[in-house]
Structure 1
Amino acid sequence: MSHSSGLYILLVSVHGLIRGHNLELGRDADTGGQIKYVVELAQALAKHPQVERVDLVTRLVNDPKVSPDYAKPVEVLSDKAQIIRLNCGPRRYLRKEVLWPHLDNFADELLKHLRQIGKLPHVIHTHYADAGYVGCRVAGWLGIPLVHTGHSLGRVKQQRLLEQGTKPEVIENYFHMATRIEAEETTLASAALIIASTNQEVTQQYGIYDHYQPQRMVVIAPGVALERFYPVPENWQEPPIYQDLQRFLQDPQKPMIMALSRPAIRKNVGTLVKAYGEDPQLRQLANLVLVLGNRDDITTMESGPRQVLTEIFQLIDRYDLYGYIAYPKHHGADEVPELYRLLAKTRGVFINPALTEPFGLTLIEATACGVPIIATSDGGPRDILAACDNGLLIDPLDIKQIQDALRTALTDTEKWQGWSSNGLSRVRDNFSWDTHVERYLENVRQLPQRRVQSLLSPFRQGPASNITDWNIPETNRLPTADRFLVCEIDNTLLGDPEALQQLIERLNNEGHTTGVGIATGRNLDSALEMLEEYRFPMPDLLIVSTGSEIYYGPQVIPDMNWQRHISYRWQPDAVRQAMAELPGVMLQPSEGQGKFKISYFIDEEKSVSYREIMRHLRRHKLHVKGIYSHNMYLDLVPIRASKGDAIRYCALKWGLPIKRFLVAGASGNDESMLAGNTLAVVVGNYSQELEKLRSYPQVYFAQGDYTWGILEALNHYDFFGTLSQTESEMNAQIDLVVQRREELVTEGA
C-alpha cells in the first residue's frame, strides 16, 4: 500500500458477490449495478493523487456454491486500493434480506480491521441500507464523517410492490422492509453527505423520508470506465459471444435491438418482447437480443427470476419469434463492452424499458460505445438523455410508443448517426469516472465543516443537549490508542478540582496514545452532565448504569451487541416483584433506573443481608448480578453485566490487551473492574468494602484522595511511558502471593 500522505477512504458494500475481475453481474438480485459501481469507484478514487488508500469492505463468503475468490480476506485492486472481506454471520452465501441479524457483528469486524491497520479513514462511504446500518454505528463510534449512497430505497420499493398488488405481510416477511426503512431513516439522519445519481432521486425518492434533508444531498452521476467502454476500433474483430448469438438467429447480420439487465420484474423485459412480437416491421428490421444474467437451469432459480424468464419464453413461443430473438444463457463481464460494440457495428439500438430506473449504468456504457439509446422516462435516463441527446425516452407501459421509438432509431440513418456522435462527444464530460471523482473529492473535502450529530444517541435529546463549548473531540481514539485510562466518576475522578485539572493537563500533554473512558453507576445523561459541569473532556468510552450500557464518543453511540449479549435471561419485572417481598428495600428514583439496571436503597437495620437478598433472588430462578456499595446502594443487573465485564468486552472488541487498561475506583461498585488483569488503582478515599483487594498484586492502593490517587497511579505504573509496572513486576508479585498462600496452607495443615 502507498505510504504517501493523502485521503484514506473506506467504502462499505455488504451484500452480493464482489470481486475485482469478471463480475458476475446478473447472477442474482444482489449482484447487479451496485457491485460494478463500488468496484469501479474504488479503482477510480485510488488513481487520484490526493487519495492515499481505498478499502472496499464487504462480506466474506466461503461457500462451495460460489467461487473461492469470495473467501479471500484481501484482494488487491491496485497499489492503493483493495477489497477487504470480513465475517458477517454464516459464511455461506445469503441474500441481503436475511443479513440484518448479522450486521452488528460485521460492524465489530470492521472495527477490528481498523484497529489492526492502526489508521482511521477520513470518510466512511456506505452503499445501500445494510451498509448504512453498519456505517452509522462505526462512523458514530469513531466520529468520522459518513457518506451514503442508497442505490435503491425501501420506501420506493414498498410503494411499487403495493401498487402491483403484493400484500403488505408478504412484503414484510420476505424483504424485512420495516427494518430496512428504519435503517435508511437513521442513515439519512446521520450522514454528513448523501450522494444521489439523479435530481429525481433527491426530490421524489428521498423526499418521502422523514429525515429528508436536501441541503446534505448532492447529485454526482456514476462514471463509466472509458478504458473498457469505447467505440468500435478499426481493427476490431467480432467477439466470441457473437457465435453464441448466431445459434439463435436466421439472419445474424441484421441490426440488433439489445436489452441487458437482471431478469427482474421491474426491468419490464416482457413488455419489450410483446412490442417486438406484435410488430412485423420490427422483426424484419432487426433481431432482438436479451442478455439477462447467467443461468444453468431456471427451475433452480429464485421465484422472481424464474417467473420473468418463464414469461419471456412463453411470449417467444406465442409470437413464434424463433430465429428472430437471442437469449444466451451465459456471458462474462468482460464480454459486455464487446456486446455494445457489436450493437454499434450492426447499427442497432440499446433499450432499457424498466418500470423505474434510479440511474441505469448500462445506458452510459452503451453511449460510450457509440450506441443510441431508448429508455424509460424516469430518473437516470432523463438526466442521461438531457446531457447526451443520444436517443429517445419512452413510457415503459406504452407498447406503441416503444415500437415507434425503435423504428425511428432503426430507419432514420441521419438520426442514428447524430445520436451516436452526440453520445460519444458528451459522455466523457458528463459521465467519466475522472469527472465523478473530482466532484466527489470536492464534496468530501468540505465534510469536516459539515459534521452531523447522529440521532442514534439518546443523549442528544437528553438534558445536557445544549452543550456549546464543551471539549468534544472530532474523532474517537479507540482504534488507535495503545492504552486506556478508565475512571469512576463519583468519589474517584471528581472530588478535587485542582487534581482534576492536573489530570486533564497530563492527558493533553502526555496521553497522545491514551484513550479515556468512564465506568459509572450513573445513567448516561447524568454522567455526561457531571463531566460537562467539571469540564472533563468527552471520553472515548462510556460505560454507564453499572456496566449495563456501553457508548462510544464523540457521538455517544450505543453498542447494540453488548445489549443483546447481556439481555440473556433478563427478567426485570420478575426481579422487581421478588424484591418487593423483602423488608428494608426501596426502589431508587426513576433517574437511577435503566433498561438493564434496577437500583435500590437498602436500610441495613430493616433489611436482610446482601447475601440473603441474592439467595432470595436465586430461589426465584432469577439470573441477576448484585453490586452492593456504601452499605446502602444495591444495583441489580443481568448476570453477564458489570463494569469489569464491560471493560473486558471492549478490550476484546477493540483488540487492546486488558493489561493496558488502568482502571480507577473507590467503592464496591468498582470491584469487578479492579480485580483481574487490569492495572488498577484504589484511590485514598475508598470505601471499606474494597479493603479485601489489598492483597491483589495488580491493585495499587494510592495515598492521595480522588484524582490525586489517579495521578499517583500514572506514575506508579509509568502509564504514559513504557508501562514498566506491567507484566514482569506483576508476574513477580503474583508468584510471591501464590508462594505465600501455599506456605499458609502448609502451616495450617
Structure 2
Amino acid sequence: MNKQRCDISIALISVHGLIRGKDLELGRDADTGGQTLYVVELAQALAENPEVSRVELFTRLVRDDCVDDDYRQPIEKISDKLSIVRIEAGPDEYIFKEQLWDHLDTFSDNMKDYFRQQNHFPDILHSHYADAGYVGSLLANQMSIPLIHTGHSLGRVKRARLIARGLSSEEIESKYNMIRRINAEEYVLATAERVITSTHQEIEEQYEIYDFYQPEQMRVLPPGTDLKHFKPPIGGELETPLQQRLVYSLKNPDKPIILALSRPDPRKNIAALIEAYGLSERLQETANLVIVAGNRDDVEDLESGAQQVFQDIWSMIDRYDLYSKVALPKHHSRDEVELIYRIAAASGGVFVNPALTEPFGLTLIEAAASGLPLVATEDGGPRDIMGNCQNGLLIDPLEPQTITDALLQMFDNPSQTRRMVENGLKGVEAHYAWPAHAQRYLRLICPLIEKAEQLEHRPTTRRSAVYKDRALVTCLDQNLMGKPDSLKSLLSLLKQNRKSTLFIVATGRRLDSALRLLKQYRISEPDILITSGGTEINYAPKLTTDKAWMNHIDYHWPRHKIKSLLDTHPGLTCQPKSEQTPFKISYYMNNEVTDVEHIKGLLHQEDYSVNVQFSFGKYLDVLPMRASKGMALRYVADRWQIPLNRILVAGGSGADEDMMRGNTLAAVVANRHDEELSQLHEIERIYYARNSYEEGIIEAIEHYDFFGKCRPPERGDVTGEVEE
C-alpha cells in the first residue's frame, strides 16, 4: 500500500536507558547518555514535521523504587503526534543493557502485541543500538515492515577499547555478552534495508569488518544538533567577565583569538597546534591562541594521559617562548561554552580542531553556528562537515606547518573568511539542525515505505570464527617503503581479508612519526600499532592507547637514573626529543668508541633491569625490562586470543628478532638477508623470501598459505632460498 507523504507512522526502538520526554537524566550511568538524548530529539523533530502523522518511541518499562515513577507509565503522551511507549520485558527493576539479552524476544513479542491491540502498524521501524536492532530485526521479518538501523557504537570496535583498558577476553565476554551483541549486529545487517551512520569514516573503519556488511544499505545522515544555544555574536561579548578571564594573561588581549576547545587527550593533538603557532612570528603578531582543555585544579590530580598533554603544552610554550601569547584557562562551565565561541567570533578569530582523528566533530558544528570559520583535521568527520558547509580549511594533523599555513590564509584573506563564516551559518542550519535532519530522514525512508527502493540482499555467509583469527605483523621502514606497486597489492590483499586478519605494524618509531609515514605512503591505518620499540600499543579506529600495557611495563623502570648514567657516556649521543618517550631512551652509538655488550654490562653493574636494543648499526634504545616488540606482540595475541602459530611476522631489523623467534610464523624479506636477522637462517620456522620489501611479504603469505591453512608447508615442499 502506498502511503501519502503526509501520513507517515514511525516506530523508534531504544530498549535500554532511562527515557522520558523531559528532564533526561543524562550521565546517570553509561546507558543514559548521548543515545537517549539523540532518540528523544529525533522523535521530537520527526513529530514536528507535517509529513509525519505518528511517532512512537519504544523503550522498556521499569518499576523500580530506585528510579522515578515516570518510567513505569506504559504510555507517556508528549504531543498529539508523539508518544513514548514502554514495553514490559524482563524484571521490574532497572537493569543495564548487558543484562537485557535474555529478555529481548519477550520485548519483541509484547511490542507486536501492542500493535495488534492498537490495530495500527507503523510504516517503518528504526532501531537504535544492537539490542534494539535485534528486536527490530525480529519484528521486520515477522511483519514485513522495512527496518532502518543506527548502531551508535559497534561491538567489534568496543571490544578493542575494552582490551585497551586491560580487560581480558574472558572478562569482556562475561561482563558485556560481546558475542551475543556482535551476533545481533550481524543479524541486523542481514535484515535492515538501510543502516544510518554519522560519517563516511564510520562505514569504512567499523561496518566493513562485519560479515553481513553491504555497501548498498549504508547511508550517511549526520545527527541533528540543538543549535538554539549557539548563535553569532550579538554585541558586548568582548566586555564580559568571561572574556576577561580568558585573556587576562595575554599581553595584547585585543587581538583575534585562535580557539581550541577539547578534552586534554593526547589524540586531540593540542601540542601540534601550539607548535604551528610557534613556527610563525607573523601568526603570533596577528592573533592570540586560547586553549580550553577541560577543567583542572591541580594537574597532578589528573590521569596520566591528561598530565602528559599539559606537560607537552607547557614544553611547547617554553620552547617557542609563547608566554603572554597563549592562554590556558583552568576552569569553565558547560553553560559558558556558547559564550566562549561567541567571544572568539567577536574578536575576528578562528576555531581549530587539530585532532589526530575526529569521528564526528560536534564542536565544529557548534563553532560554525557561533560565527567562527574552521581549521580542522582531514581525518574523519570534519571532511563531511567542511564538504557540506564549505566553511573552512582541512589540515594534516601530523604536519604543524599545514596548520600554520591554513591560519595565515584565514587572516590574510578577510573577504574569503567572511564568506566561510556566512557559509557555515547557512550550512549548519541546512545540514545539522534538527528540522533539516528530519527532512533528509523522510527523504531516506519514503522510498522504502512506498516500495520504490528495496535492498537486494546479496548472498553472504558468516565465518566460523566470531573474531579475527590470524594476524600479519610487519615493521615499517624496511618492509613497506620499497615498491609502491607491490605495496598496493599487499594492502589490497589485507583489505580483502580484513574480516579474518589483524593488520599490525610494529615499529621503533614514535606514534606520531609512524602515523606520518603511514599517511605519506597512503597505508591504511592498521588495526594495531605497536610503536616506540614495543613500549606503546594503540588500537584503531580511534588510536586508543592500551594503558594496561603501559602500567605493566612501568615495573621498576628507572628512566631518570639511566639517563643520568648514559647521557654523557663516551660513544653515545642522545637522539632528538622527538624520538624519546616516557618508556624509551634513544641514543646514537659510535661502534668505534663503545659497543652494546659494554653498555649492557654498565647497566647490569648498576643493577638496572632493562632491555637494550641495537639496530641498523647505530641506534641504541633502552626500554623497560618488560617491553619489546616481541613481548608487546605476545601481549596483544593473548588479549585478542590469536594463537602465535597463526601470526605471520615480517621482520626488518634486530629489534624484530624476538617477535620472530618461538611459535610465530616468520619471514625475512630479501633486502634484509645480510643484516641483523641473517643469523636466524637456521631456524626452520623463519622463511627467507627471494623478493624484497612488499613483494617479499606477499611471497611469505603464499609460502605459509596465510589466508588459507596458515601453516608452514609440509616437508619436501619448495621453500625460499637466500639469494647469492
Q: What TM-score comes out, normalization by structure 1 length?
A: 0.48
| CA radius of gyration, larger in | 1
TM-score, length-normalised on structure 2? Answer: 0.49
